[in-house]
Structure 1
Amino acid sequence: MDNIMKIPEYQLFIHPIDVSELRKDIWMDDPVSAKLTINKKKYDIDIAYRGSHIRDFQKKSYHITFYKPSTYRNVKEIHINAEYKDPSLVRNKLSFDFFNEIGCLSPRSRFVSVKLNGKNEGLYLELESVDEHFLENRQLPKGPIFYAVDGDANFSLMSDLDKEVKKSLKFGYEQKVGTEQDEVRLQEMIIKINTISRAEFENEIVKYLNVEQYLRWLAGVVFTQNFDGFVHNYALYQNSETGLFEVIPWDYDATWGRDVNGEVMVEDYLRIEGFNTLSARILDVKTFRHQYKKLLEVILNDQFNVDYLKPKIQCMHGLIRPYILKDPYVKDKLDLFDKEPKYILDFIEARGKYIRGKLGTLD
């Protein structure tokens, strides 16, 4: 978690004509040129709205690409998220920190204060892009990266969108880093997931997937209860040294007891096994299932409990509260914001109890 008690201020300048261009078509992905000042240092950037349903919100989220200088904090791109439907504004960050703490690759994140053309736009969460810089900053081997962008990224031969056989196994993925040959390898893995016989699955799948890491990711999705996390909201990275794919979480605001609209999501909404073809096949193997059970037990004892998470939640809440008071989009919801730490902690208590009660199903 960040120990910096002062949140950095990002001063954006976008020419009024370009602001009008962005607002005219919020679904346009083409960026406009802009300038960003951070700690008195100026950056030339490209900026565009980001996200799918979140583009409709009053408070916009942005995708920023640096081109002069070409990087900032050793990254080429950042995402700044409004977290508009999360009344706590901490769920995404809390999730990514949690994934990191349970041994799963996840993006760095930190809170920032944003001004646009001199007007206060309020508090945002800066997210690291999952790309070649993500790998370099962790001294990981190079390798292809794919973003799971919709319900076709379900590790199945059937579409999650229309329940029919996919016309292409490319559907559901957007290649961020890599070659056409890397795309072929991803499709090969998806075919193998669906066609390896039950008898051979345990010995064969480990040639394509880092199963231990997958189980950590699966545990993270299940604990945070990200219902969408199984068919999108993730990135796939293939480690060029091992040849194995790993899963990286992405967009985790609909978690810790609330859905994408910020509405209540009860603690037993998502089953302990999760749901997608790959998770089902992995948990069908007794060895992997027992490995998963032990992992859940360890995380319940070490990270997913009130004693461990309460100080982190309270620290984040205290850090951002002064900025919430000045955020033009959420300052009127301060009462709800102040109730959220208890709401999240009650969810952790209830979700933990639910998962403990279901551990026997993994025997």
Structure 2
Amino acid sequence: MSRLNPPPTYQLYIHPKDIIELRKDIWSDDPVPGTFTLNKKKYLIDIVYRGSHIRKLPKKSYHVSFYKPSLFRGAKELHLNSEYNDRSLIRNKLSLDFFSEIGVLAPHSQHVLLKINGKMSGLYLELESVDEHFLKKRQLAEGAIFYAVDGDANFSLISDLDKETKKSLSLGYERKYGTVDDGFYLEKMIYDINTLSNQEFKKEIKNIIHVDKYLRWLAGIVFTQNYDGFVHNYALYRNKETGLFELIPWDYDATWGRDVNGRYMDAGYVPIEGYNTLTARILDVDEYRKDYRNLIKGMLDQEFTLDFLQPKIEDLHQFIRPYVLMDPYVKDKIDDFDSELQFIVQFIKDRRDYLTSRLYKLE
């Protein structure tokens, strides 16, 4: 992979009183105004902190909305992730790129340098928003998009948070794009997944979910070992032309051998069969279980190999290293950054061994 250009530098200007307002309540979702500048072109924006637990970290992540002009490179908003708990700063991008390579819809991401009021804030990962513009850029059919906002997006009738029966079938989801009527299809999907008999499920699920793409999404989680990915960290897209739901991964920094706090996660922590109600029901169908096994086996032979992944990892690491040294939050941890390259390589070796040894469970 050849990289000729440095990451773009995004300049944000926020009035000092608005910065004070932002810092006053890090949990507030009320944005403050500002300007965004790139290559001497200025945009009026709203900006607010983003994320949940990551808001407490010293290096904040941001959600930027454009309103004059209303679009920036075909997008109405972007997400700037600090990746502070990922000492490699590449896990999220590495994961999303991997999903794309195995045939799953995934947002584009790129590293950028961020300056706020002229002061260097560090190296960030820009994540594309999953919305109507995401669909348009890919020439995909119109369709509703729902974000899985917490662990209740588990395809079950039982809450993942309090283990009680859900008060609403749409609990855990937030409609990002579409109409109120689109919520009917989401609720019907959850209802059918949980109430169809085995025989009915086998017959009907292919008319509700794009099964092949679901299995590829499942494989992506299992390979990258995103523990939360089965009930969180995804968006649902319902293609209006086919009527089928697809899943789109989102926020994959807790992967490749590290958990959400950056701690070591054993390479056998996430089972080859994955989790959640829908996964269990799909893999209970012999045909789909066989398809999933074939996907896993094929990816173990092709995409999830050191020959395929290690050059990408090394290239990405080498590309961002000079800019890590410019980041005031992580430049003093450059040894940790450098050691993560080998850590991720070792994880791939160990995860390959684990998954290969568990293929029999899918027979």
For normalisation by structure 2, the TM-score amounts to: 0.99
- Amino acid in the other structure paired with 1:333: K
CA deviations 1:188-218 (Å, max 9, x no partner) are 0000000110122111111110000000000
Supply the distance in 2 between the matched residues of 1:248 and 1:302 (Cα, whole angstroms).
Answer: 22
Give 1:52's aligned residue.
52
CA deviations 1:254-302 (Å, max 9, x no partner) are 0000000100001000000111000000000000000000001111111
Matched, 1:178 2:203: no
Does 295-304 or 78-87 show the bigger shift?
A: 295-304
* Cα distance, 1:4 vs structure 2: 4.7
CA deviations 1:319-352 (Å, max 9, x no partner) are 1101111111001111010011110010001101
Give 1:269's aligned residue.
269
Query: Contact 2:145–2:177 (CA<8 Å) still a contact in 1?
Result: yes
Does 353-362 or 100-109 show the bigger shift?
A: 353-362
Query: Contact 2:3–2:319 (CA<8 Å) still a contact in 1?
Result: no
Query: Contact 1:33–1:47 (CA<8 Å) still a contact in 2?
Result: yes
Structure 2 segments unaligned to the other structure (5+ residues): none
* Cα distance, 1:72 vs structure 2: 1.1
Supply the distance in 1 between the matched residues of 2:143 and 2:30 (Cα, whole angstroms).
Answer: 26
Check 1:215–1:56 CA distance in 2 against 1; reply closer, same or farther (3 A cut).
same
Check 1:114–1:2 CA distance in 2 against 1; reply closer, same or farther (3 A cut).
farther
Equivalenced residue count is: 363
* Cα distance, 1:3 vs structure 2: 3.8
Give 2:154's aligned residue.
154
Matched, 1:20 2:33: no
Give 1:91's aligned residue.
91
CA deviations 1:167-202 (Å, max 9, x no partner) are 111210010001111101100000000011012211
Matched, 1:307 2:290: no
Query: Contact 2:79–2:128 (CA<8 Å) still a contact in 1?
Result: yes
Does 79-88 or 177-186 show the bigger shift?
A: 177-186
Give 1:232's aligned residue.
232
Give 1:223's aligned residue.
223
Supply the distance in 2 between the matched residues of 1:76 and 1:289 (Cα, whole angstroms).
Answer: 40
Query: Contact 1:2–1:110 (CA<8 Å) still a contact in 2?
Result: no
CA deviations 1:125-150 (Å, max 9, x no partner) are 00000000000000000100000011
Does 90-99 or 201-210 show the bigger shift?
A: 201-210
CA deviations 1:43-69 (Å, max 9, x no partner) are 111111000000000000000111111
Query: Contact 1:146–1:173 (CA<8 Å) still a contact in 2?
Result: yes
**For residues 96-115 of structure 1, what are the structure 2 equivalents within 5 Å?**
96-115=96-115
DSSP 3-state at the match of 1:255: coil
Supply the distance in 2 between the matched residues of 1:255 and 1:235 (Cα, whole angstroms).
Answer: 18
**For residues 204-353 of structure 1, what are the structure 2 equivalents within 5 Å?**
204-353=204-353
Supply the distance in 2 between the matched residues of 1:189 and 1:94 (Cα, whole angstroms).
Answer: 31
DSSP 3-state at the match of 1:281: helix
Query: Contact 1:88–1:340 (CA<8 Å) still a contact in 2?
Result: yes
- Amino acid in the other structure paired with 1:21: E
Supply the distance in 2 between the matched residues of 1:355 and 1:131 (Cα, whole angstroms).
Answer: 34
- Amino acid in the other structure paired with 1:243: G
Give 2:132's aligned residue.
132
% identity of equivalent residues: 63
Supply the distance in 1 between the matched residues of 2:3 and 2:299 (Cα, whole angstroms).
Answer: 24
For normalisation by structure 1, the TM-score amounts to: 0.99
DSSP 3-state at the match of 2:323: helix
Query: Contact 1:170–1:187 (CA<8 Å) still a contact in 2?
Result: yes
Give 1:358's aligned residue.
358
Supply the distance in 1 between the matched residues of 2:345 and 2:5 (Cα, whole angstroms).
Answer: 23
- Amino acid in the other structure paired with 1:168: S
Supply the distance in 1 between the matched residues of 2:93 and 2:40 (Cα, whole angstroms).
Answer: 26
Give the aligned CA root-mean-square deviation in angstroms: 0.9
Supply the distance in 2 between the matched residues of 1:161 and 1:122 (Cα, whole angstroms).
Answer: 35
CA deviations 1:111-169 (Å, max 9, x no partner) are 00001111110100000000000000000001000000111100000000011100111
- Amino acid in the other structure paired with 2:158: M
CA deviations 1:54-101 (Å, max 9, x no partner) are 000000000011111111111111000000000000000000000000
Supply the distance in 2 between the matched residues of 1:70 and 1:53 (Cα, whole angstroms).
Answer: 30
Give 1:33's aligned residue.
33
Structure 1 runs of 4+ off > 6 angstroms? none
Supply the distance in 2 between the matched residues of 1:151 and 1:49 (Cα, whole angstroms).
Answer: 21
* Cα distance, 1:2 vs structure 2: 8.0
Supply the distance in 2 between the matched residues of 1:158 and 1:2 (Cα, whole angstroms).
Answer: 48
